[in-house]
Amino acid sequence: MNTLDKLNKLNKSDFVSIFGNVFEKTTWIAEKVFNLRPFKTYDELSNKFISVFENEKKENHLKILISHPDLAIEEKMTTDSAKEQSGAQLNECTKEELEEFLKLNKEYKKKFKFPFIIAVVGKNKNEILNSFRKRIKNEVNQEFLEAIIQVKKIALLRLKDINKE
């Protein structure tokens, strides 16, 4: 995002079009953050995104978790998710890896009621599969908290990417 001055002068529609997917398919968080302008620094903007998210009810956290795509097998994804999964080579899985992702995604969703979420940036498909195999053994509350941590990591990575543009 060019300059902080330009950012603070954006209208709500433009702000939401830029920041509406910081939290997967959750434009309402961007709308709430828009109302907290002006921002003195980009870090302050990032902190406000995280703060708004953290102050939401558990039901809203669950809605955000559910909005995330399945790893490696989802066909319809946001541009951000597609870029992130592609960067982690999840679009280059072998037949066996795809079958394992399919099986793990199904079992995970059945157990936790939301898709497996991990900040894939900087990871490869083997690291992601290993995390998947470990985390599926977690207790429900433990995994919910881990998914929340991962969602915040994804949001901060997306905010960092927007800041580079």
Q: Catalytic amino acids?
A: 68
CA–CA separation, 72 vs 125, rounded Å?
Answer: 9
Collect all residues with Cβ–Cβ distance below 8 Å to 42 and sequence separation of at least 6.
1, 4, 7, 159, 163
Q: Which residue has the tokens 């907290």?
A: 36
- Cβ atoms 116, 69 nearer than 8 A: no
